[in-house]
Amino acid sequence: MKFPKIDPVPLDGPEKKNSDNDISGRHSSDKDFSEGDFSEGQAPKADTSPGKVAGIIAEYNPIHDGHIYHLEKTREMSKADFVVAVMSGYFTQRGAPAVLGKWERARAAVDAGVDLVLEMPFMYACSSAEYFARGGVGVLAGLGCTDYISFGSECGDISILQKAASIFVDETEDYRAALKEALSEGKSFPAAREEAFASALENSYPTLKPSEKQQLLEVIRQPNNILGIEYIKALELLKNGGFDYGGFEYGRFADGGFVYGGFGGCGEGSHGEVADPLCVDIKPITVKRKGGGHHTTASELRAGMDIDQSGFFALVRGAVLRCSVSELEQIASAGEGLGNKLKKEIRMSKDIEDLIKRVKSRRYTETRICRLLTQTLIGLKKLDLTGAPSLYARVLGLNEKGAELLRYIKKKESARIPVITNINKDVFGSEDERFSAGSSLRKSIDRDILAGDLYNLAFGFDLYSNSDYVAGPYIKK
């Protein structure tokens, strides 16, 4: 994989020091910017309300001018004083390795105008659209100070997206029956869900006009619309009693005792208030994507990069070979028969693309297979996505305004999830029982660290300097 790397600066340790001529912008942990030691007199003290906060859920893989357009429109539409982005780490929602590491992409986002970049835990970042949305929305809501969630969409009409989301959330009998039938016929989940949605429109919503039904059907066929719908669904689930994690309440850890408080915004009229438990007051807004080639797409940028995935394929191949069929069937994106199919094809495949093509079928899409392979490499199982939500806000990058917002969150204790600025101090040096060995949070953080190590190993980057134990957030002064 050939692309520029920025030498990271260690969080701790005597072997590597932060020098005056360091260009990375990463800072060691002896300066805790959340405590106000960002730089002398540059950012106001966080004793008063900081203003409105808009959240974005993104991958920035890599960042391009379409993302910049979305960022600018988000500020314009929301009148937000701060923009926070929750960004995937080393692997994307589709399961592919990111074209740049998380620290480099966080730096690019901050340089582009994002005030604070937080990492989405791997277990959500490399999962279905539904869990990707739950992870992103959960982190933003968990800060306790988010007023808006902004996302791009093909339709650009929030009311249509909200209507589509409500139909999915309702899950009428017609919807469930049609979904079950389509899946039994061997159709992929996206295709089966579209059929079920059409059936629900036809049989359960007689007051909708034919033109409205057709419009809704067209909306759910576009990828950014689909993600937007999932964000709205996640918000509604939070408002109406929380996410369903296999019988566990959203916010209640399986290992006991800790329940998130209310999620309240920090905009005017809500500062310092605690809403009802499991209740959010976050408004979704959408930015319509422009057509006509106004920007280079991420896929076009990726196509121009010389990316060698042979190291990644070797690691994936080793992971599949080590697993038994029954172990493969327990991986989060596994389905009936996929374990046997993977074991059969792994020795005959010449590269990662060949393996995906060999395993994919009418029922299992290329995206699902790609995600399955990465989940197998990291060891993410179905069981990991049930029970505890495993949410935390890990800082990857920030500017002075982002530091101000962090200080406000810490001073007002608004966050309902842990905020991590230094993994060694905040996690491994903490006495917080939520981070104890074997807890759901600790397992999730361990997966994030493993994902980084294996990514760097696969693409030939230095394991020490790029390790999550060593590298620190990018700080733009």
Q: What is the pLDDT of residues 161-177, one digit of tens each?
A: 999 999 999 999 999 99
Token pair 């800060």 in the structure block, residue? 143
The CB-side HSE value for 6 (13 A sphere, CA atoms) comes to 21
Report how far apart the first and last C-alpha atoms of the chain are (Å, whole number): 30
Global confidence as pTM: 0.84
Tell me the one-letter amino acid at 461. Answer: F
Residues 223-242: what's their mean pLDDT?
Answer: 87
Quick check: 287 and 69 in contact, CB under 8 A?
A: yes
Percentage helix, strand, coil for the chain under 3-state DSSP, each rounded to 5: 45, 10, 45
CA of 145: how far to CAs of 47, 150, 231, 419, 473, in Å? 14, 15, 17, 13, 21
| Residue whose pair of structure tokens reads 């980084």 in the numeric block | 452
Smallest Cα–Cα separation from 389: which of 230, 250, 239, 240? Answer: 250
What are 36-54's pLDDT values in tens digits? 444 333 333 444 567 999 9
Angle formed by the axes of helices 310-322 and 352-359, nearest 10°: 50
DSSP letter string over 102-122?
A: HHHHHHHHHHHT-SEEEEPPH
Q: Where in the chain is the domain with CATH 3.40.50.620?
A: 1-154+222-308+391-438+465-477
Two structure tokens written together for 136: 């992103």
Read off the pLDDT of residues 120-141 as tens digits, 9 standing for 90 and up.
Answer: 999 999 999 999 999 999 999 9
Q: Is 295 exposed, middle or buried (0-12, 13-18, 19+ CB in 10 A)?
A: middle
Contact between 46 and 83 (Cβ < 8 Å): no
For residue 155, report the phi and psi dihedrals to the nearest 5 degrees: -85, -35
Percent of the chain predicted with pLDDT > 70: 77
Q: How far is CA 46 from CA 55, 166, 270, 409, in A?
A: 19, 38, 16, 8
Helical residues (DSSP H) of 171-297, grouped into ranges: 173-184, 189-204, 210-219, 223-239
CA atoms of 158 and 211, how far apart (whole Å):
17
Name the residue with tokens 């620190």. 472
State the pLDDT at residue 272.
Answer: 34
- Rounded mean pLDDT, 416-422: 94
Percent share of the chain, pLDDT over 90? 70
Q: What is the per-residue pLDDT across 254-270, written as a single tens digit (0 to 9) for each?
A: 232 222 223 334 443 33
Angle of CA points 280, 282, 284, to nearest 5°: 135
Kindly report the CATH class assigned to 1-154+222-308+391-438+465-477. Answer: alpha beta
Give Cα 141 to chain centroid, integer Å: 13
- Give mean pLDDT, residues 215-220: 96
Cα 310 to Cα 1, 154, 358, 460: the distances in Å are 9, 35, 17, 11
